[in-house]
A and B are shown apart, each in its own frame.
Chain A
Amino acid sequence: MKFRGGYNIDLKGRPGDEIKTLPEPDALYLSLRTARFTFSEVCVADGGRVSLGEVLARDPGNYSVPLLAPRAGVVRLKTAENHIVIEDIATTPEEPVRAEETAPHIARQMGSGGIMRYKLLTLGAWQFFYDAHTGSLPEPFRIPQAIIVSTVNCEPYLARGDVQLSRDLQVFSRGLEGLQSLLEYQPIYLVVPDIESAFAWQLREKDRGYARIRIVEIPMKYPNDNFTILARNLGLKPDNGPVWALRTEGVLAVDRVLTASRSCTERIISIGGPAVETAEHVETVYGYPLGQIADSYVGKANARIINGGVFTGRVIRPEQLGLDSECTGLTVLPEATEREFMSFARAGRHKRSYSRFCYLSALRGRFEETLTTAVNGEERACVSCNYCEEVCPAGIMPHLIHKYLYNDDLDEAERARVDLCVGCGLCSFVCPSKIELAAQFADAQDRIRREHQSKGVAQ
C-alpha cells in the first residue's frame, strides 16, 4: 500500500505502556452530547435508582444507540445541564447477570446474525463502529463490503492499541472471530504497524490462520491510520457498500458483548501531552469527572484539555463535566502565555519544523518537543511554498483549494475535490502563512453538503 504525505511530530508527554486504574469516583457526569451522538431521549426518572448497564438515554437519530449506566446509583437529571448525573454509587461494580434478552422479531427477520447485531447495539459496543468513508455511525443491520480493524493510533495522543492489548491477546482474537460471524464472505483488514515489535509479531502469528482476516502493515506515520485513508488505499469504494471501521477497543467490546453479554461502559484512555505531570494510560468508565482528572494530572498549569488528539481533538468546553463515551484520549497542551523575544531570529535548538533545516534542531537527534497553543506567527497571504500539498495524505492540493475559497468560488473548490479532505489538520500545522486551511475545508464541505441537500429538496 502506498501512502501519501503524512508527518509525525514528537510531542512531549507520551503515555507509557502501563495501564493504571483511576480511583472510584463519587459521582459520574454523563454528557448527553458527544462528537457523533445526541442522547436526547432520556429513559430514566430523576431520583430513580439504576443498576449497572441500564439504559439511561438513547439517540433517536443514530439507530437508538443507548447510553448505559457505568455504575449503579441514583440518577439526578437537574444537577447539571445536558448531563445525567449518577450519585450514591454502589461500591461493588458488579453487573447483574441479565437474562438472555430475546428479540423474537429480529430473530425471525434476520436470524442469529441479527441477534448478535442487536446485542452489539443494545450493550454499547456499536458505538465503537465507524463508517470508514463518512466517519458516522454505520447502519447495524446491513452487511458491509469489508471491516477495517486498526490497532494503530498515530495521533498524539490517543490510547494505543498495543497497550490495550498488552493484557490479553486472546480476547482480541475472539473478538475478531465475533466480527467474522457478522459477515458472509467479506474480508476483515487487520491493520498492524510495519515495525518489528513483539506485539506486532504476536498479532501476526495469532491471526495468520484466519482465512478472511487480511493483515495490512502500515508505516507508523500520522495519519496513515485514518479510516478514510485506509479505505481509499485498500480500494474500498463507497459505491460498493459501507465499510465498517473500528479500533482495538471496539474489538474488545465486541468480544465482551458476544462472549460475556456484558455492557461496554469501561474505557482505556490515554492522558498525555506536554502539560501533563505523568502521562499514562488509565482504565476508567465514561462519565468520570473531568475535574478530578484535571486535579491529579494537570496541576496548576494554565493548560488546554483536548478531547482526543492534538490534531483532530476538540477543546473540552467548561460545561462538560465528565469523560464522554466516545473519548479515547485526553491531550493536555500548555496555553501560550509568553511572547518570545525576536522569535524569528532564534537559532531554534528546541523548535522542530517540517522544513527541518530552518532551525538548528535539525542537527539534533530525536527529541521530544514542547508545543503550546501558540500560532507562532501572523497570518499572511499564501506564498505557494507547497508544504501543504507535500503533507496532505488525501492527495489534494490545499493551497489551490484555499485560493478558490479565498475567491469564494465554491464550485471550483468542489472540482478540486475538497470533499476528499479527511480533516487531519496537517496542512494547517505546516503552513508558514498560518492559514486555517483545515477549518476552511471543513466549512466548505459543510456548505457543499447543504447546497446539495437544498438542490435535492428543490427537485
Chain B
Amino acid sequence: MKSFLNLFEKLRPSFEKGGKLAAFKPVFDAAEHVFFAPSARTKNSPHVRDPLDIKRFMSMVILALLPVLLAAVHFFGLRVLLIIAVSYAAGGAVEVLFAVIRKEQINEGFLVTGLIFPLILPPTVPLWMVAAGIVFGVVVGKELFGGTGRNLFNPALVGRCFLSLSYPASMAAGWIRPGIGFFGRAFQYVDASDVQAITSATPLVLAKQGELAGLSDLFFGRIAGSAGETSALAILLGGMLLLLCRVANWRTVVSILGSFTILAAVLHYVRPDTFGLVLWHLFAGGLFFGAFFMATDPVTSPVTKGGKWAYGVLIGTATVLIRNLTGYVEGVTFAILLGNICAPVLDEVVIRFRLRRLRDE
C-alpha cells in the first residue's frame, strides 16, 4: 500500500500547477481519492467529523441498485451490462471534460446517474442511443446548472425523456420477453435482432388493450419493461436499504406511493372496468423504481419536510393521471420531472412559513 501511495506522490508534481499535465488535475485527484482518503484535517471546531462523505453516500445508492441490476441481468441478459459500460464511458467522458474545463473536482454523483440511466431504458436500445441519451442528460440536466448539487432536474430522467421524445419508435418497441427458469437469461446476450425474444408490449400497453399480466409476474419482474424497473421485489430490497441509511427520505417514498394508491383506488372504485386494480398498478411500470431511486434524489427533490410531502403527492397523482387519462401508457418520467420543476417552489413556500415561525425567537 505504501508503494502505491508513493506512486501517487511521485506523479503529483506533473499534475500540479506548472506541470505538464496540470489540466488533468481533477482526474488525478479523483484517482488518488478513490484509493486513499484525503489527508485534510480539521482546522477549527468542531474538531471531529462524521465518517460519512459523499463517496460513501453515493456508494450506498450503487449498493442499493445491485439487486435491481442483478434482476435486470437475470431477466434480460448480459446486454444490460454492455449498456451500463457505454453509459459510464460516455457520461464519464462528459463529466471529466466539464471538470477539466471548470477546474473543479469530478463529482461522485455521476456514478449514480450513469448506473440509473441504463436501468430505465428498454434492454434492446441501440448503444449509440445510450451514449446520446446520457450525454444529453448529463450536459443539459446537470452541467449547465453547475454540476451535482446545483441541478434542477434528475439527469438520468432528462436523458430518458430526450430519448423517448426523439426516438419514440425504438424506445417503445424494443422490449424483451423476460427469461424464465432458474437462470433466466443471465447467460444470454439478447439484442434487437433476436426476433423470438422481442415483444412490442409491456404490461401497461397490454392493459390498454384489455390484457392483464399476473400479479406475481409483476412482483417478481417476469414481464417486459425497462431493464431495471420490472422487478418490484428487487427494487423493494434496494429501496429499503436506501431508506434505512437515510440516503433516500421515507417521506418522499411514502407520499408518492400513498397518493398513488389512494387515487388509483378511487378511479378503480368509480369505473372498475376501465381502471385496473391498485396493487396491479403499483407493481406495473416504473412507479416503484421512480419512487425509491429517482424521486428521492436529494438534490432535485425539496429539502423541507413539508415540501417532500407535497412533492410526493404531486408525483403520485400525476403518475396516475398520465397513466390512466392520457395517450401515454406510462407517466412516471414526466411526473418526476414535473416534481423537479415544482420542488424549488414547494421549498420556498415551506421556508417562508418556517421563517415566519422563527421570527418570534
Give the interface of A toward B (CB within 8 A).
Answer: 9, 11, 232, 304, 306, 310-315, 331, 333, 335-336, 339-345, 348, 351-359, 371-378, 380-387, 389, 395-397, 399-400, 415-417, 420, 425-426, 428-434, 436, 438-439
Chain B residues, Cβ within 8 Å of A356? 244-246
In the complex, A59 Cα to B190 Cα: how many Å?
82
**Number of residues from B at the complex interface, CB < 8 A:** 54
Of A336, A397, A417, A428, the contact of B46 (CB 8 Å cutoff): A428
- A381: chain B residues within 8 A (beta carbon): 107, 146-150
In the assembled complex, the Cα of A374 lies from the Cα of B46 at a distance in Å of: 11
Pair B38/A358 contact, Cβ less than 8 Å = no
Name A's interface SS.
Answer: loop
| Contact A314 B358, beta carbon cutoff 8 Å | no
The answer to whether B52 and A353 have CB atoms under 8 Å apart is yes
B142 to chain A, nearest CB (A): 11
The answer to the question of B57 belonging to the interface, with a C-beta cut-off of 8 Å to chain A, is yes
Residue interface mask B46-68, A partner, CB < 8 A = 1: 11111111111101100000000
B49 touches A374 (CB 8 A): yes
Nearest Cβ on chain B to A240's Cβ, whole angstroms: 14
Q: Are B37 and A232 in contact (CB under 8 A)?
A: no
Are A376 and B358 neighbours in the complex by a CB distance under 8 Å? no
Question: Which of A306, A315, A378 has the most chain B CB atoms closer than 10 A to its own CB?
Answer: A378
Residues of chain B within 8 A of A313, CB atoms compared: 45, 47
Q: Do residues B47 and A378 form an inter-chain contact, with CB atoms below 8 A?
A: no
Among B49, B60, B107, B358, the residue within 8 A (CB) of A429 is B49
The residues of B that contact A428 with a CB separation of less than 8 Å are: 46, 49
Write out the residue numbers on chain A whose beta carbons fall within 8 Å of the beta carbon of B245: 355-358
Instruction: Indicate if the CB atoms of B49 and A375 lie closer than 8 Å.
Output: yes
Specify which chain A residues have a CB less than 8 angstroms from the CB of B249 in the assembled complex: 386
22 contacting pairs across A/B (C-beta < 8 A)? A11-B48, A232-B361, A306-B45, A311-B48, A333-B47, A339-B5, A342-B34, A353-B52, A372-B48, A374-B49, A375-B42, A376-B37, A377-B38, A377-B56, A378-B105, A380-B105, A383-B298, A396-B358, A400-B351, A417-B361, A431-B49, A432-B56
B303 touching A375, Cβ below 8 Å: no
Partner of B41 from A353, A375, A416 at Cβ < 8 Å: A375
- Once the chains bind, are A415 and B355 in contact (CB under 8 Å)? yes
Min distance, Cβ B47 to any Cβ of chain A, angstroms: 5
| Contact of B51 with A339 in the complex, beta carbons under 8 Å | no
Choice from B38, B42, B299, B354 contacting A373 with Cβ under 8 Å: B42
Pair A336/B241 contact, Cβ less than 8 Å: no
Chain B residues contacting A232 (CB-CB under 8 Å) are 361
